[in-house]
Structure 1
């Protein structure tokens, strides 16, 4: 199956399990990219969960305005809460109040953040969760980050043991939280490392549903730039190998083969903790949603889901 063959949006899925894997997919945007979209309803299935990435330097006002807009267009905004950008508990409480008061937000992605040194009292997602503010504010869904190929922050200090201990802590927190929890992963380019990591989580007693990050269609040069910046691990070799092939260098990458392999595992092992796909539209939101639709992403669905 070629990675390079795009299908028209109304074409059937290429793999019998791929449509099920993409059903209910989520997608990630930034305020500045969202501002370029005239109407998300022309691109996304009804009720799609839209993560709003909080990049260092983005004003909270822009984040809240984006969440308000998405909610108004019928989507479920899930803003990032990056621990290392939050000065203290008062700032966290203020952010939560703004999101809820202006945009009706009841879900968030809780993560360490993209800076190496904390700007205040918090260094990890666990510290944010331990404040109890999300449960006290009635958040119904809390997602945490997963790193199938490792995290530069964790691997530098404690490696696999520390990563699994953190995942186990998040599982324990899920057991005592009123919110539904799941783990959403950084994107990668090979199924093997993702599946091995998910198996290790299960062996360590971590049963959180996993939302697998997929990099949406993009030029190879664009994909390499984002992959290096985001700390993608050994599966980066997939892109590097393609970059050496002059016949493919100028052709776009799309995640069809990777998604099909993950979908097949999900279909054949119902107990495996892969829940659904989460899309990073690195080559543009429309290219990403067109790809999802072409491979089985549904046109409409209920706004509330129990995944």
Structure 2
């Protein structure tokens, strides 16, 4: 019996059953505009950027919850000037009922602005549990990090996973966005070989202008222009138009093997395009 033309792409849509999104503190109006296209209960990460303040971050987490979504506020370890700064943020989240899920990352500053040199230092304080945190996201880097050695990245990942287990905190790994599904899956296999069984959310760029995608990729050191163009299917001689992660997700789904890769989900970096990303996901799922 002919399964029909949509059958080959069905596994790709299955990866989107529990996708998550990312926004900044300034994106609340964009989230309000997009939320009708976002399934209730979707996890929405709220960044912790240097140009945002406490009120903006708390307001954004509150807005996510008000719209029927699950706020996942970021905590940037090296941006915290003091222990009291961390407690003030956690207390604010707890007061709004938005502290259950957080994502803890080292952050961009080369030198800590306070007592926390990395995400692990924040997790080890015990403050997360004290203020009601139950689930902690941590970072993963399938294509490496321009300022951190591979050995350090692996040590950080395995140490954080172990400490979360010791502290009885649930968690997941959210990766940097990438353009090469095969590289990502190879990295996931190595994660599992190291005994890390946390669910992994694969970072995916939402649909965006090709030039913008290339700019972000260059900024974060993710792949080369030639490899990105090849994997995403556009020409370097014509950077006009928009590119979506269709090909990436279909490759990811085709090569994904739960026995080797474990629990895998998708996390969209929206680059401010919350509505465009949400509507793209709806269309992609409808196509099968």
> Aligned runs of 1:208-287 on 2, under 5 Å?
208-232=198-222, 234=223, 236-239=225-228, 245-246=236-237, 248-266=238-256, 268-282=257-271, 284-287=273-276
| Unaligned runs of at least 5 residues, structure 2 | 1-5
Greater share of helix: 2
TM superposition shift of 1:56: 0.9
| Structure 1 counterpart of 2:189 | 199
Q: Structure 1, residues 191-236: CA drift from partner, whole Å, max 9, x if none? A: 122111111111222222110000011111111111222332x355
TM superposition shift of 1:143: 0.4
1:153 to 131, 137, 147: 147
Q: Structure 1, residues 216-265: CA drift from partner, whole Å, max 9, x if none? A: 11111111111222332x3553335677543x421311111111121223
Cα distance in 2 for partners of 1:21, 1:244 equals: 27
- Count residues in correspondence: 280
- 4+ residue runs over 4 A deviation: 240-244
| Structure 1 counterpart of 2:3 | none
The alignment partner of 1:199 has SS state of: helix
Kept after mapping to 1: 8 A contact 2:99/2:132:
no
**Aligned residues: CA RMSD:** 2.2
Cα distance in 1 for partners of 2:225, 2:7 equals: 26
| Unaligned runs of at least 5 residues, structure 1 | 1-11, 298-307
Kept after mapping to 2: 8 A contact 1:218/1:283:
no
Cα distance in 2 for partners of 1:21, 1:95 equals: 33
Cα distance in 2 for partners of 1:153, 1:122 equals: 18
Kept after mapping to 2: 8 A contact 1:82/1:125:
yes
The alignment partner of 1:50 has SS state of: strand
Which piece of structure 1 moves more, 53-62 or 288-297?
288-297
Which piece of structure 1 moves more, 65-74 or 99-108?
99-108
Query: TM-score normalized by structure 1?
Result: 0.84
Evaluate the alpha carbon distance shift between residue 76 and residue 38 of structure 1 in structure 2; reply closer, same or farther with a 3 A threshold: closer
TM superposition shift of 1:36: 3.5
